[in-house]
Amino acid sequence: MKLSILATLISAASAFHAPLASPVRTNSVALSETKADLQTLAADLNPVVKYYDPWGLSDQEFWGSTNEQSIGWLRHAEIKHGRIAMFAFVGFIVHANQITWPWPMTTSGDPFPKADSAPAAWDAIPEEAKIQIILFVGFLEFWSEAMMDKHYMRGGRPGDFPDFDSKFIPGGALNLYDPFGWNKSLPKESKEKRLLAEINNGRLAMIGIMGFCSESQLEGSVPALKGVIPHYAGNVMAPLAAGKGLVHLDGLF
């Protein structure tokens, strides 16, 4: 289908990052908890736009915390949302092209549903599958908060996800980043540059997935995607509205 042409955007998104505007500092990405650190990081991420905070979020103190703790929370939230958006961007393209796993989805032999978009595919999967996905995401959230050596609001590194520990997970598990340990020997400068690229890629992906969702709900709202993204009759902002049972929360929306 037409959406297959957008697959070329994946490689562009993965390569999208601004060149470093100044020599790499060892703490430029690993720990940015003050407004001055944010301004320095912003120049490295985008030498053209540089620091941009029209709502003054970097001056806030959330939930009675300090300004530095609030900035740590904002930094971690941006990186996390960027990572999810990168998954979502690629996933939307995969589902829109009706690419599925070849094996059955359920123990009863039901295949993975083929749909025109990721939201439609979500609506088509069984309730049990939705529950499994929600519980898995909840586990990742719990692990990231409970197992970090130093919290990102207490001087830890924003965006750092703790390694899985075989003491708590029977048989062990592959870590989300660098599961085979291939990048451990990379120079620190290369790691810093990749962290900058990840932030920029995440920002681009957040714009991209919102463009997909907007066009799927209101045709023509994103002119470049008109006629490419199929219409979705559901509500992308109410992912639990379709269906019935435990995860049916239509009354909340």
Residue 197: band (very low, low, confident or very high) from pLDDT cuts 50, 70, 90: very high
Query: If you average pLDDT over residues 128-135, what whole number do you get?
Result: 89
Q: What is the pLDDT of residues 133-176, one digit of tens each?
A: 999 999 999 999 988 888 999 888 898 888 887 777 765 667 77
* Residue 108 φ then ψ, to 5°: -85, 0
Mean per-residue pLDDT for 5-20? 39
Query: If pLDDT is split at 50, 70 and 90, which confidence band does 44 have?
Result: very high
**119 burial via Cβ count (<10 Å: 0-12, 13-18, 19+):** buried
- Cα distances from 215 to residues 82, 106, 117, in angstroms, run 20, 32, 11
Least confident of 19-23, 62-66, 172-176, 196-200: 19-23
Where does the pLDDT of residue 82 fall: very low under 50, low under 70, confident under 90, or very high at 90 and above? very high
Give me 158's structure tokens.
């924003």
> Does the structure show a pLDDT above 80 at 231?
yes
What mean pLDDT value characterizes the chain?
81
Model pLDDT, residue 249: 59
pLDDT band for position 17 (50/70/90)?
Answer: very low
Quick one: 211 exposed, middle or buried, by C-beta within 10 A (0-12, 13-18, 19+)?
middle
| pLDDT in the model for residue 171 | 58
- Return the higher-pLDDT residue of 219 and 26: 219
Token pair for 36: 């001055």
* Phi, psi (degrees; rounded to nearest 5) at 66: -80, 170
Integer CA distances (angstroms), 39 to 44, 51, 100, 144, 228, in order:
9, 5, 43, 27, 38
Confidence at residue 33, expressed as pLDDT on a 0 to 100 scale: 73
Number of neighbours of residue 56 by Cβ within 10 angstroms: 7
What integer pLDDT is reported at residue 67 of this predicted model? 92
Whole-prediction pTM value?
0.78
Is residue 247 pLDDT above 70, yes or no? no
Q: Are 56 and 70 in contact (CB under 8 A)?
A: no
pLDDT at 253: 44
What's at 200, amino acid-wise?
N
Q: Kindly tell me if the per-residue pLDDT of 252 is higher than 80.
A: no
Whether residue 215 is predicted with pLDDT greater than 80 in this model: the reply is yes
pLDDT score of 12 more than 50: no
91 membership: H or E segment, kind and range? helix 67-96
